[in-house]
């Protein structure tokens, strides 16, 4: 067992498109995501536990891991933010394209009826 796994027994590691990512053991919650979510809750571990049905021990383990590996956590949070921004741009472009297509279809229909 690696030293990291011994030091953080409530943390699992999974391979992803961006490399190895730490998750809260037995959940689908990435540590980088949970650390950010708890920060948004102003550090309220009890409330976070209620929302995601996690024990305070698992939340504390995630926060301790995030504290021990801040560069890793920051890089994953930055990557997630970049992905969200790209998705938002893509969605905006799709909406614009759809609106243009509908407008073009309306114009063609008007031309047909005016002939």
d(C-alpha 44, C-alpha 65), whole Å = 17
For 4-30, how does the pLDDT look when each residue is reduced to its tens digit (9 = 90+)?
Answer: 778 899 999 999 988 899 999 999 999
The answer to whether residues 22 and 2 touch, using CB atoms and an 8 Å cutoff, is: no
C-alpha torsion sign, points 44, 66, 87, 82: positive
Give the relative orientation of helices 56-68 and 45-52 as an angle to the nearest 10 degrees.
Answer: 110
Domain total in the chain: 1
Q: How do residues 36-54 score in pLDDT, each as one tens digit?
A: 999 999 999 999 999 999 9
Alpha-carbon span 32 to 24, nearest angstrom:
10
Residue ranges making up the domain that contains 76: 3-114
CA distance 77 to 83: 10
Query: What b-and-e string marks burial along 26-53, b requiring 16 or more CB atoms within 10 Å of the CB?
Result: eeebbbbbbbbebeeeeeebeebbeebe
54-92 pLDDT per residue, tens: 999 999 999 999 999 999 999 999 998 998 888 888 887
pTM over 0.85: no
């Amino acid at each position: 067992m690696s030293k990291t796994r011994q030091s953080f027994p409530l943390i699992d590691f999974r391979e992803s498109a961006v490399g190895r990512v730490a998750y809260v053991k037995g959940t689908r919650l990435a540590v980088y995501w949970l650390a950010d979510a708890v920060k948004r809750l102003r550090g309220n571990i009890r409330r976070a536990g209620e929302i995601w049905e996690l024990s305070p021990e698992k939340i504390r383990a995630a926060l301790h891991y995030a504290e021990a590996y801040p560069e890793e956590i920051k890089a994953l949070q930055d990557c997630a933010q970049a992905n969200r921004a790209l998705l938002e741009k893509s969605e905006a472009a799709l909406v614009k394209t759809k609106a243009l297509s509908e407008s073009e279809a309306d114009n063609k229909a008007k031309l047909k009826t005016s002939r």
